[in-house]
Amino acid sequence: MQDGDTNNGNKNTDPLFVNANNPMGADGIWGTADDGLRLQTSSPAINAGSNTAIPNGLTTDFSGAIRIQDNTVDMGAYETTPEPLPLKLVSFTGKRFNGLSTLNWQTTNEEGVKNFELQRRNDLGDFVTVATISAKNAATQRYTQEDYTIAATTLYYRLKMVDANGDYTYSNLVHLSDKAAVATTIYPNPVNNVFTVATTNETLIGTVIGISDVKGAVVWKQKLNASIQQVDVTHLAPGIYFVKFANGEVKKLIKK
């Protein structure tokens, strides 16, 4: 980085390594916590790299830590991990079925914690925040958050845990893949006025869905033009209905 050309992705400044004179650290082993070429927390190389320069499939740094800690990669071989918060993340797990990811986590020692940001990315994209959950600040807490999205690839989830003073740290990554290769769902259910049809079955695109009452009478029809589409049932009276798709699949719908 020193004396580099600023027009070619370099910075003409001291990168502030932890100990440039001892690259492997006291243990003499590369890729461990005491490596001297890690960046100090005040390093100008933090969040200064280019995400597009990371080879496809590379998700960790030289030491095995998550390669991108804060949406932008650090310059160098090591990614800087923010200082840990007082709270302890006991577990962070998830499951996925029919396009619905359910994430669960448990904490202890919550004190002065502002919120949790549930973040998601696919194999190629950056992390995006899909939900922000306020912290309960109790001795032991359990949280559950759902995220619905159609995806053919593996999804990666993490928590950004934010303290009241703005400090934050990240959880481990949870990798989730859909358990159903072809799936069609409707949500929310029960519904007030509008529900969403989401399907991974491409053969249904362009076909007509029908909504029938409990007597079998068709009360509404609508063409399915996309894999995710809203259906307005404001005009329907409260009760039980059945949504039938062109492939014969039927979903029970409750109108509130």
What residue spans define the domains of the chain? Answer: 1-81, 88-176, 184-255
Strand partners, 240: 254
Q: Which of 102, 108, 118, 105 is nearest to 162 (CA)?
A: 118
Q: Do 88-176 and 184-255 have matching folds?
A: yes
pLDDT band for position 229 (cuts 50, 70, 90):
very high
What is the CATH number that goes with domain 184-255? 2.60.40.10
pLDDT band for position 4 (cuts 50, 70, 90):
very low
Question: Which tokens go with 135?
Answer: 């912290």
- Specify whether the CB–CB gap between 244 and 209 falls below 8 A: yes
Give the per-residue pLDDT at 3: 38
Give the per-residue pLDDT at 6: 44
pLDDT band for position 9 (cuts 50, 70, 90):
low
- Condensed to tens digits (0 to 9), the pLDDT of residues 158-181 reads 999 998 888 888 999 999 987 655
CATH 3.40.1130.10 is the classification of domain 88-176: no
Rounded CA gap, 119 and 160, in Å?
7
Rounded CA gap, 207 and 223, in Å?
6
